[in-house]
Amino acid sequence: MADFIAGRIPGTGTHVGMSRRLFSACRWLDELQVKVALEEEPRRDPQPDRPDVSWEDEALEAETRAARMSYHERLRHRDLSGTVREGFKQAERLPWRALLGDREPAVNWRRGGLLEGATAETYIAVEASDPVLHSVRD
């Protein structure tokens, strides 16, 4: 059985979550994206935030577009499906504490009044006291 980590979206009556496997896969993908972005950073020249360069709107837009295209091109050549598979495999052997950067997840067993739903990898809940639900029922 999959275990989940979930949290409340501030300012809403909604809670979302994901399985350990999905969380691990997302974490691996995020690490890959950060790595590609860091590799891309030295390649961008000139930098739009340089104070010694006067940027016209079109030039700035072209530079930004070129940087995005270069990033996505480099990301496209990475093995994304292999990264996802590796994330799923790692989840089988790593506890939540390791996946969360050596932090222990907080557990709240007293949470009540939620209308919940889940799939094998995702979780969503809406607080039964949410005003939006009252307007639907009335």
- Half-sphere CA count of 121, side-chain side, radius 13 A: 8
pLDDT 10s digits, 100-119: 888 887 777 667 888 889 99
CB 6 within 8 Å of CB 105: no
Write the DSSP symbol of residue 110: T
**Residue 11, phi then psi, degrees to nearest 5:** 80, 5
pTM, rounded to two decimals? 0.62
Give DSSP secondary structure letters for 19-51: EHHHHHHHHHHHHHHHHHHHHHGGG--S-TT-T
pLDDT 10s digits, 47-82: 556 565 666 777 777 777 777 777 677 666 667 778
Beta bridge partners of 15: 8, 125
Tokens of 32: 């890959």
